[in-house]
Copies of this chain bind each other. A is one copy, B any other.
Amino acid sequence: MAEDRAGRQKPPTSQDVARLAGVSQSTVSYVLTGSRPISEATRRRVEAAILELGYHPNSGARTLRSRRSGVIGLMVPEADGDDGVLMVFVRTIAREARRHGYDILLVTAQEGADGIRRVVRTGVCEALILMEVDRHDERIAPVLASGLPFVTIGKPEEFPHGSVIDLDFEMLGRMVLERAHEEGCAHLLLFGALDHLRSRNDVSRFLAGVEDAAEEIPVAVVLDDGPLAEVPARARRLAAPHARTALFGLGGVRQVLFAMAASGALAQEGTVLLALGGEDLADVSGLLAPVPQIDPRRAEVSELAVSELVRLLRTEDATPRVTLVEPRWLEG
């Protein structure tokens, strides 16, 4: 094996494979891509040579020629919500992408629209996944301009070439209110300053679901903007003599649970904490057992994001579509 001046092994090329197998270089290529019928005999010789040399096709050359880099750009948001949750998405997406033969390149939201333009123009990415997309998101414009297939997790206003995968937050809202009613609650206290976050599309969809359901179900909805540590106290003040109060938030369940534990509220019967699961609650699982949890189905959302993107990539003239994953109550 040849070595360059730095003493690094120079990987074998398809030319090397061809020589060893006694065929032409193009034949090697066809064996790899399968875009042309090859006789069983030569195929085996080529494959043996590939194995012997440990040959892997050069990514740069392949990309240059075919305009397909095999790389999907993943735009991750800045630290705002729960980083643990985010990492689950990232890891799942990376694993699924590999399963389909793609790699994941990180693009931080900090780079913004310019970041998109860069990876698109340089041709590093042949498709994009955007996380935590808002209704009006500055990143959508350059993506649309690129013409690349993309998937957003979060629902923007327009998505001509792109598909949308997300949890069905409206349904989530209805489910929470219904459960509060079933648990005999007169009030549903929503914590986490949701009122101030209406611009976020998941929040606004969730609130729409809650408010929609509240027109039919007699549960009073209270939006709490205060600090999470004071949620238990706030809930106690709401509690009517014979009615309980349900608590819910899209995030910060751990903090509230912590506050409840610290204030002794866990032992009381007046408040019912409903939780969105998956927010790394394993650490407090002992106390969570009796807490009804909703599965936000992040694994499914991640897997769908990838498989939908692959569909857009591989299908000619594939139509983008919106897929909302239904939240589910976790039993036990």
Contacts and interface: CB of A to CB of B under 8 A. Distances in A.
A139 to B, nearest CB: 16
Contacts of A82: 84, 280
B280 A56 contact: no
A199 interface: no
Q: Which 6 A-B pairs have the closest CB atoms?
A: A60-B63, A56-B121, A60-B64, A84-B84, A83-B87, A8-B147
A106 interface: yes
Interface in A114-170: 115, 117-119, 121-124, 145-148
User: Interface size for chain A: under 10, 10 to 19, 20 to 34, or 35 or more residues?
Assistant: 35 or more
Chain A facing B: main interface SS: helix
A6 interface: yes
Copies of this chain present: 2
A71 interface: yes
B122 A108 contact: no
30 contacts: A9-B146, A11-B123, A56-B117, A58-B122, A59-B124, A60-B123, A63-B63, A64-B64, A71-B105, A79-B88, A79-B91, A83-B88, A84-B84, A84-B87, A86-B87, A87-B87, A90-B90, A94-B106, A94-B108, A98-B111, A103-B105, A103-B106, A104-B105, A104-B106, A254-B254, A255-B284, A258-B261, A258-B283, A258-B287, A262-B262
Contacts of A62: 60
Nearest to A284: B258
Given A91-B108, A255-B284, A262-B262, 12 more contacts: A9-B147, A58-B122, A59-B63, A59-B123, A60-B60, A60-B69, A60-B123, A61-B64, A83-B83, A94-B108, A103-B124, A254-B283
Contacts of A107: 94, 103
Nearest to A147: B8
A59 to B, nearest CB: 4
A122 B57 contact: yes
A20 interface: no
A284 B227 CA distance: 12
Contacts of A78: 91
Contacts of A7: 147
A252 interface: yes
Contacts of A119: 103
A239 interface: no
Interface string A44-81: 00000000001111111111100001010010101100
A237 to B, nearest CB: 20
Contacts of A122: 56-59
A95 interface: yes
Contacts of A110: 95
Contacts of A56: 117-118, 121-122
Interface in A219-267: 228-229, 252, 254-255, 258, 261-262, 266
